[in-house]
Amino acid sequence: MKTKNIIALLVMILPALPLCGQGAKRINEIKRDSRYIYAESTMPEASDAYELAKSLLVNYAKDYAVENGIGGDYYGESNVLAQCDSIQLNRGDKTKVFVYFMKAEVSGLASKPGTEPAKAPVQEEPRVQNQPPVPVQGTPVERPAPPAPPVPAPAEPKKSEPASVKVTSSSASGMLPEAWQRKVIDELLSSSSFAEARGKLPRMKQEFQVKRFGRYAECKDVSKAFWLVGDSSGKLVTVLGPGGIRTDFRSGATASLDSYNGYELIWFTLYTNK
């Protein structure tokens, strides 16, 4: 292959790469966010998928209203369909349509629009770059997507000594219920640097010990995560356990994540049961 052909290929592919997975990622964000009600359908024809997804959404909305004792027509069909948005994904020779709405918007209890910029509905996720979008017959109501759920922003960087209260257990990692979980924490703590500890997480995920990990901004539930804590010199300071008052697995003391403002933080979760 000639060099200039390869460069031309790179130029074509590179812009599309960030889009790969964007639609699926947004769908999962919504599924994880309890403020939304959603439904999905995958059918050979996009229009059929859209109609079925809307029908399911209306049913789920009614179920939600009944389960929560919400009277009136807030979650009635016309309200739900007027407020819902959709995301469409290619699924090989079928199309997936995901429809959703925010409960607060439908019930009229929405707070003032947030400062986050409204995102345009994600229409298509090219699995292979040369697949054109499939038009949906019956255009869904065009509205900007609801603002993204608030992500906990790191506090102003300021270093402080962690508060400590001694725990009485013999070994901090011993507080974990499973032996393999204790082994994971001990292995992370044995790392000579923060980078080395962070580098172990992908392998631990492959081995079904670590379930997920990521940067601070990507953490959906700070209280449920473990944390790798690193300082500005690249040293691994400690590993913190989940909860409001956390276990510092290095010292055995209890600590708060707030005490590590300004430190490098990577969150991870463990499988709790195998």
Partner 1 sequence: MLRNKILIILAVLLAPVTMWGNVDFEISDGISDPSLKAKMEYQASALLTAVNRAASSGQPVNFSGIEIDDMASFSIAQLWNTARFRTFDDDIITKALRLTSGGRLRGYELRNIEVELFPLDDSYMGSKTQEVCIEFSPYGKITDFNFAIEQNQYMQIFREGTKVEDFDQRMQILHYLEQFRTAYNQKNIIFMDAVFSDDALIITGKVIKRVKSEVPLPPEIEYTRQSKAQYLANLKKCFDRNSYINVVFDDIKVLKHGSKPNYYGVTLTQHWNSSNYSDEGILFLVWDFSDEDAPKIHVRTWQPIETPSGEIFTLENFKI
**Which spans of this chain sit near partner 1 (rule: CB under 8 A)?**
1, 3, 6-7, 9-10, 13-14, 17, 20, 24-25, 28, 31-32, 40-44, 48, 52, 55-56, 91-94, 96, 127, 205-206, 208, 211-212, 271-274
How far, in Å, CA of 61 to CA of 84, rounded?
A: 11
Of the pair 28, 223, the CB lying nearest partner 1 is at 28
Q: Considering the complex, what minimum distance in angstroms separates the CB of residue 14 from partner 1?
A: 7
Q: Considering the complex, what minimum distance in angstroms separates the CB of residue 24 from partner 1?
A: 5
Q: Considering the complex, what minimum distance in angstroms separates the CB of residue 57 from partner 1?
A: 12
How far, in Å, CA of 22 to CA of 134, rounded?
A: 17
Q: Considering the complex, what minimum distance in angstroms separates the CB of residue 37 from partner 1?
A: 11
Of the pair 74, 271, the CB lying nearest partner 1 is at 271
Specify the DSSP element, H or E, that contains 203: helix 194-206
How far, in Å, CA of 30 to CA of 135, rounded?
A: 23
Q: How many CA atoms lie within 13 A of 179 on its CB side?
A: 0
Of the pair 93, 142, the CB lying nearest partner 1 is at 93
How far, in Å, CA of 181 to CA of 129, rounded?
A: 41
Specify the DSSP element, H or E, that contains 80: helix 77-83
Q: If we measure between CA atoms, which residue out of 82, 100, 87 comes closest to residue 38?
A: 100
Say if residues 87 and 31 touch (Cβ distance below 8 Å): no
Of the pair 207, 258, the CB lying nearest partner 1 is at 207
Of the pair 52, 134, the CB lying nearest partner 1 is at 52
Q: Considering the complex, what minimum distance in angstroms separates the CB of residue 193 from partner 1?
A: 24
Q: Considering the complex, what minimum distance in angstroms separates the CB of residue 28 from partner 1?
A: 5
Q: If we measure between CA atoms, which residue out of 220, 218, 201 comes closest to residue 209?
A: 201
Of the pair 34, 139, the CB lying nearest partner 1 is at 34
Say if residues 248 and 238 touch (Cβ distance below 8 Å): yes
Phi, psi of 28 (to 5 degrees): -70, -35
